[in-house]
Homo-oligomer: A and B are copies of this chain.
Amino acid sequence: MASSGGEHHEEAEDSYGDAATIGALRQLYAGYAWADVASLGPESSGRAVRVRGAAQAVRAVGRRVAFLVLRQGTATVQCVVAGDGGGGMAMARFAAGLSRDRWWTSPAPCRCRGTPSAAPPSQQLVEIKVEKLHCVSRAVPALPIGVDDAARSEEDVARAKAAGEQVVHVGQDKRLDYRVIDLRTAANQAIFRVQCQVENVFRQVLLSEGFVGIHTPKLIGGSSEGGAAVFKLDYNGQAACLAQSPQLHKQMAVCGGFGRVFEVGPVFRAEDSDTHRHLCEFVGLDVEMALRDHYTEVCDVVDRLFVAMFDHLNDKCGKELEAIHRQYPFQPLKYLRTTLRMDYDEGIRMLQEAGVHVDAMGDLNTEAEKKLGDLVRDRYGTEFYMLCRYPSAVRPFYTMPCPEDPRYSCSFDVFVRGEEIISGAQRVHVPDLLAAQAAARGIDVASIATYVDAFRYGAPPHGGFGVGLERVVMLFCGLGNIRKTSLFPRDPRRLAP
């Protein structure tokens, strides 16, 4: 392991230096317990611990002292490397040299053995007095983007500029080009921890209600359920494409006897539109279930699921939401204990009364959806609601018409902060009706024969919904751009990293 230069005594080399392997440090730090930075508190005072993290900031004070901020995920701790430590002044110099980028050697994991002590009158609760310090991995001296720059809020940038200060603003594209650095900001650390919780609540609530988690194939023969742009590929000589949704296969799983199923998996759309809410690859949260009496049983699941999810995020992810809020300020989502449901007709009426021109049997455009969201929030005090019973004409051919009036359908959309997030419906499980509805929309029935035939071997009445994981997080946290909630986003232009 040993150090880089030849200037230290053996004793000093045991105290600091570059470590060639982590195994070599094992003996050197024997007897000192590993600690997580997040778990260090005033009660740790006096304990001898080992920690490892990225050197987030390094600052030398004269020749005898260096300060090192160590980061693990979202937690940081200040480490003091003083000339009176085991390695003497040389260790302080070694620490100061860890960062050649003057402010950040962000990803140079270091190992400290120190004594957490009650903190000096700063914000931090604990400070580590470093007795040994070894660097186990060095980054290039100058990172293409700085973590501190990437972590700056728009507000801070504006404030600094107003004060005539020079600050670096890292644009969205550059962040994504260097995503591995960008992900280290507190906001990004929080966003993807929140995302993980969203998925986990989704799964746990559904499992507790008797749903079975499944995995359907993403490689599909032909071209999905017809319609929109798909990614095509050659599959050992057969024409194939990437699934635009697990629609058919989740329905087949229900017909295959599983009754209630869910899936979490990638969904592929060869979108050409570069918007704030579309990706070419996203994570779909899908549900499909046999129905007893009515399609609103699917709405009941959505209601229980999302109220539980929002509650969980507010109750258990306070720290993460705060970290996101610091960089991207947002208002907490307003939602009711029982989710508001409105018929589509009533939504149309509200818009018309507010002077918005909308076609009662047509679809709502993004602007009208936004406006309706405002109206609903003002009247009912919620930013999360369901719009039910859409006109049949604006829904896919496999949507079940309302028995009492087939101009309307057993379908619904769910909105968060005025943006559509979930689309759901009862499906047509009767092959002849399915074929007729396809034909009425000008779809070549032969091209969807596989889909129609799947229901000839028996199908219970069923329905379901789909929602994008990235959209849930984006809209719950008011993030405004879906690229912020995709770990490595894929949009019409971006295929890397």
Contacts and interface: CB of A to CB of B under 8 A. Distances in A.
A219 B189 contact: no
Contact of A497 (B24, B283, B454): B454
A166 to B, nearest CB: 24
B457 A183 contact: no
Interface string A171-192: 0000000111111100011001
A233 to B, nearest CB: 4
Contacts of A264: 264
Interface stretch (A85-93, A157-165, A438-446, A486-494): A486-494
Contact of A280 (B196, B219, B259): B219
A203 interface: yes
Contacts of A403: 20-21, 23-24
A293 B30 CA distance: 11
Interface stretch (A117-125, A132-140, A351-359, A389-397): A132-140
Contacts of A365: none
A122 B399 CA distance: 43
Interface string A270-297: 1010000000110100000011111000
Given A214-B196, A292-B34, A495-B221, A461 B71 contact: no
A403 B20 CA distance: 9
Interface stretch (A234-242, A308-316, A341-349, A476-484): A234-242
Contacts of A306: none
Contact of A137 (B181, B184, B459): B459
Interface residues of A, number: 103
Nearest to A220: B495
A171 to B, nearest CB: 18
Nearest to A280: B219
Contact of A257 (B183, B258, B291): B183
Nearest to A217: B488
A490 B219 contact: yes
Given A108-B458, A109-B460, A188-B256, 8 more contacts: A54-B257, A106-B458, A107-B460, A137-B460, A180-B454, A192-B212, A236-B272, A252-B497
28 contacts: A22-B292, A73-B257, A107-B458, A107-B459, A137-B459, A139-B457, A139-B458, A140-B456, A140-B457, A178-B457, A179-B256, A182-B256, A183-B257, A192-B212, A193-B212, A196-B207, A196-B213, A196-B214, A199-B213, A200-B207, A215-B469, A217-B266, A218-B281, A219-B490, A219-B495, A221-B496, A235-B495, A450-B496
Interface of A: 20-26, 34, 52, 54, 71-73, 105-109, 136-140, 143-144, 178-184, 188-189, 192-193, 196, 199-200, 203, 207, 212-221, 231-236, 238, 240, 242, 249, 252-253, 255-259, 264-266, 268, 270, 272, 280-281, 283, 290-294, 403, 429-430, 450, 454, 456-461, 469, 487-490, 492-493, 495-497
